[in-house]
Amino acid sequence: MPSVLGALRVTRLRPFGASVDVASTEELLASGAAIRQAWVEHGGLVVVRGLTELTPHQLHAVSELFGETERDLDESKRAYQVGGLSSVMRIGNVRDAAGALVAMCTISAPLPPSGSPQYRPAENQPVWHTDSTYRRRPPIGSVLYCKTAPPEGAATCFCDAAAAFAALDEERKARLRTLECVCSLAHHDAKVQRRGSAEYPTCTAEQRRANPAQRVPCALVHPLSGRESLYGVNSGTCAVLPKGESLADEELDRCELEAHEMPSMQAELRGLLPFATQVHDALRHRLRPVVHARDVADNNRKGLRRS
């Protein structure tokens, strides 16, 4: 049943999230407090309906409704910025007149005929992830806007990682609180390229040095909602270690240069994904953008902007 929050009409989605109807970009930009409230109260996912056009600068402004906006893209992705804004990146398979990619393009398997978004361990699909956990200051969220949609596929799937954590037994929760993920931009890019995205950019030696691997907790308390959540699931995560335990330099080199994933990743995180992404805990939406669990194995033109 729709409700009214400020001047916005808000409809709860199942199993989590909310959709918000707006008449214009101006109405959206004037409703920052209400949008943030809906975002926090409905599990960190808001789908905005009613926009027919959004410029890169307006997308940046929408992002600022939720807090400070990142000013720099990953070094290996800066060629994909839009409108001269380093805070807005093009995602998809869009090419320029010379045939060069002008978007971050990844290739993943489509969802199965059943449409289930549940993680399939034998295939390591769908590619469930939390954005940019390998950054020094990981973002609290992403704002997505679709420009060009394929005629089919491109399902966008989201999972409530806080609900998944809450459903774990107390012993598993306690163990996850003692663990950290080793997250690396270089590992992320090498893994995505090796997985089948041949044109995906990988880090140079200089970019590796400028972007050292980061450590993030496997169990993270959200700074606004206070809910504890599974965290660290990202293609950049190469190992899961007890807090304070280091990863040997030669092992990190193998992870970053050869896309090797340490066995601890499978044991501690990947093993949880089938449970965390069960159909009753995941939202599969026929938006147009393609993120978080990707269903993009087609050759139709598609484009998405992220800030």
* One domain, residues 173 and 270: yes
Q: How many domains does the chain have?
A: 2
Note whether 49 and 118 are same-domain residues.
no
| Last residue of one domain, picked from the residues 53, 71, 90 | 53
Question: In terms of residue numbers, what domain contains 48?
Answer: 1-53
Pairing of the two strands 18-21 and 46-49: parallel
Do 24 and 126 lie in one domain? The reply is no
The DSSP symbol for 222 reads: -
Do 20 and 114 have their domain in common? no
Q: Is residue 87 part of a domain?
A: no
Domain-located, residue 135: yes
One domain for residues 116 and 215: yes
Residues 6+ apart with CB under 8 A from 195: 106, 107, 108, 127
Is-contact 117 157, C-beta < 8 A?
yes
Q: Is 89 within a domain?
A: no
Q: How confident is the model at residue 299 (pLDDT cuts 50, 70, 90)?
A: very low
Which of 13, 34, 53 is the endpoint of a domain?
A: 53
Among 24-28, 29-33, 119-123, 299-303, which stretch is predicted with the lowest mean pLDDT? Answer: 299-303
Does 81 fall in a domain?
no
* C-alpha to C-alpha distances, 90 to 84, 145, 157, 276, nearest whole angstrom: 12, 10, 19, 29
pLDDT of amino acid 296? 38
pLDDT at 71: 78
In a domain, 244, yes or no: yes
Q: What are phi and psi of 145, to 5 degrees?
A: -140, 125
Does residue 36 sit within a domain?
yes
Residue with tokens 């089948």: 196
Mean pLDDT of 288-296: 36
Q: What are the tens digits of pLDDT across the range 224-274?
A: 888 999 999 999 999 999 999 999 999 999 999 999 999 999 999 999 999
Q: What is the pTM for the complete model shown? A: 0.88
> What's the one-letter identity of residue 241?
L
The Cβ-side half-sphere exposure at 78, using a 13 Å CA radius, reads: 9
Using the predicted structure, report yes or no on whether residue 79 has a pLDDT greater than 50: yes
197, two tokens = 């995205």
**What CA–CA distance (Å, rounded) separates 20 from 157?**
18
DSSP assignment of 118-171 equals --BTTTTBS----TTTTSSS--S---EEEEE--SS---EEEE-HHHHHHTS-HH
Q: 49 and 131: one domain?
A: no
Whether residues 264 and 125 share a domain: the answer is yes
136 and 281: one domain?
A: yes
Residue 176 lies in a domain: yes
Q: Is there a domain that residue 150 lies in? A: yes
Q: Quick one: average pLDDT of 159-187?
A: 96
